[in-house]
Amino acid sequence: MKYQKIDSNLFIKNRKNFLGRMKPNSIAFFNSNDIYPVSADSTLPFEQHRDIFYLSGVDQEESVLMLCPSCSDQNLREVLFLKETDEHIAVWEGPKLNKKQAFETSGIKSVFWLDEMENIIDKVMSECETIYYNHNEHYRAKVEMETREERFNKWLKGKYPDKLKERSNPILQHFRSIKDPIELELIQKACDITNRGFRRVLNFVKDGVWEYEIEAEFIHEFLRNRSKRFAYTPIIASGNNANILHYIENNKQCKNGELILMDVGAEYANYSSDMTRTIPVSGRYSKRQKDIYNAVLRVKNEATKMLIPGTDWKAYHVEVGKLMTSELLSLGLLDKSDVQNESKEKPAYKKYFMHGTSHHMGLDTHDYGLLEEPMTENMVFTVEPGIYLPEEGFGIRLEDDVVIQKDGAPVNLMKDIPIEVEEIENLMNK
């Protein structure tokens, strides 16, 4: 792995939290992701399933975590099953985790090879009444293929049909949404890497540059700072491309007079950052561009202040809508009749700002988090308002990542990333 070793106390604590929510005489399993084929003998780069990583720190394919807190054999209450390495694998792929390394990574003492798994499961299952099944229940998820986790779940249900069934995901949704200090350090690292990439790009952008060249500058800086990839598919959208919310082609040439909306983030140790900045190709904003930009910035700054313990996620978005409506009225993009005639389902501001303002962030860019629960200390949220003007040929979005505090305004993990008009212009014209 490119990232430096993570303190195993993080994973020990995460397991303790999860175990504390399990029913008596129960057992839970968590699987690594598949390695997905492309064609012929090609595969996509392996990405570890975030749940097993969260609970163990193991970042390796074909790994399984078993948790059985009531097991009479204390050595089988926390178990890792790993793919056994050999000389052939070591030569062609590099060495896999041995048992000592797995313990150092996870804090789990009982580590077995995969060929021992079925016998051990049979042994502990005789003491269990309930199996916790892990499914992807994220509110944005569209599961269109059978994953390794689901194949394992199907095998469990077939082999132990009489066991009671529970869901792991609500427990994970709760705990994964509240970040440990170690996790916050890792997210901050990802944000710091993103900062380095953005500053590099500010010195690179000029008339005639291509969107994909900007993308290349970002990934160059990310890789040299221990990020293995973008946290998500980057958006480098110049001119009218900025009005396509999920524009990822990144194949247009940038021209003076245009703005470039860049929604880009580095990852570090599987933890995400999520930044959006909008900069002028020429290094100078026009007056109109500056007016729209500062309106978006004011909404972002005021919305950020609302992210405090106890805030309701849905109510928060309603209040942000009011802020945006006020700015759009001031800009002349809306008039009073637009607001008077709006409906609850379709507020007037949605014509220019059609997406949400904030989402949970952490191990996933759109991280787990129960939207029905009030905001809590150490949750990490994005703040990303925007105004999109296809008839004027540009769109502006600004986005930072913030941590909710026990008292007062949240801490901005991207406070060092330039965002004010004057600072961006000064850096681009040094």
Q: Confirm whether 2 is domain-assigned.
A: no
Residue 430 pLDDT grade (very low, low, confident, very high; cuts 50, 70, 90): confident
Q: How far apart are CA 128 and CA 216, in angstroms?
A: 52
Residue 353: which domain range?
Answer: 181-428
Q: State yes or no: pLDDT of 400 exceeds 90.
A: yes
Q: Give the orientation angle of helix 421-428 with respect to helix 287-305, to 10 degrees.
A: 130
Q: What's the N-to-C CA distance of the chain in angstroms?
A: 37
User: Which residues make beta-bridge pairs with 389?
Assistant: 394
- Are 201 and 278 found together in one domain? yes
Q: Which amino acid is at 25?
A: N
Q: Confirm whether 98 is domain-assigned.
A: yes
The answer to whether the Cα torsion of 217, 186, 58, 95 is positive or negative is positive
| Residue 316 contacts residue 356 (beta carbons within 8 Å) | no
- Are 190 and 164 found together in one domain? no
**Residue 86 confidence (pLDDT):** 78
Concatenating the DSSP letter of every residue in 304-370 gives HHT--TT--HHHHHHHHHHHHHHHHHHHTSS-HHHHHT--SSS-GGGGT--S-S--B-SSSSS----
Tens-place pLDDT, residues 197-222? 999 999 999 999 999 999 999 999 99
Three-class secondary structure of residue 230 per DSSP:
strand
Tens-place pLDDT, residues 130-173? 999 999 988 888 888 899 999 999 999 999 999 999 999 999 99
**Residue 93 confidence (pLDDT):** 81
- Are 70 and 139 found together in one domain? yes
Q: Confirm whether 288 is domain-assigned.
A: yes
Boundary of a domain, candidates 139, 158, 176 = 176
* % of the chain surpassing 70 pLDDT: 100
Three-class secondary structure of residue 66 per DSSP:
strand
Q: State yes or no: pLDDT of 17 exceeds 90.
A: yes
- Are 70 and 105 found together in one domain? yes
Q: Confirm whether 1 is domain-assigned.
A: no
Q: Own/partner pairs for 40-49, CB < 8 Å, 24+ apart? A: 45/229, 48/270, 49/148, 49/149
- Are 299 and 264 found together in one domain? yes
Strands 267-268 and 259-264: unpaired
Boundary of a domain, candidates 155, 176, 197 = 176
- Are 218 and 109 found together in one domain? no
- Are 170 and 228 found together in one domain? no
User: pTM value?
Assistant: 0.96
Q: State yes or no: pLDDT of 90 exceeds 80.
A: no
Q: How far apart are CA 124 and CA 110, in angstroms?
A: 14
Domain count, the chain: 2
- Are 88 and 140 found together in one domain? yes
- Are 231 and 131 found together in one domain? no
pLDDT mean over 58-77: 96
Q: Confirm whether 4 is domain-assigned.
A: no
- Are 225 and 246 found together in one domain? yes
Q: How far apart are CA 356 and CA 429, in angstroms?
A: 33
- Are 192 and 126 found together in one domain? no
**Residue 230 confidence (pLDDT):** 97
Boundary of a domain, candidates 154, 176, 198 = 176
Cβ neighbours of 331 (radius 10 Å)? 15
Residue 407 pLDDT grade (very low, low, confident, very high; cuts 50, 70, 90): very high
**Residue 386 confidence (pLDDT):** 98
Q: Which amino acid is at 205?
A: V
- Are 282 and 363 found together in one domain? yes
| Residue 286 contacts residue 258 (beta carbons within 8 Å) | no
Q: State yes or no: pLDDT of 176 exceeds 80.
A: yes
Tell me the CATH number at 392.
3.90.230.10
Strands 380-383 and 110-113: unpaired
Q: Confirm whether 118 is domain-assigned.
A: yes
**Residue 88 confidence (pLDDT):** 81
Tell me the CATH number at 14.
3.40.350.10
| Residue 186 contacts residue 1 (beta carbons within 8 Å) | no
Q: Confirm whether 78 is domain-assigned.
A: yes
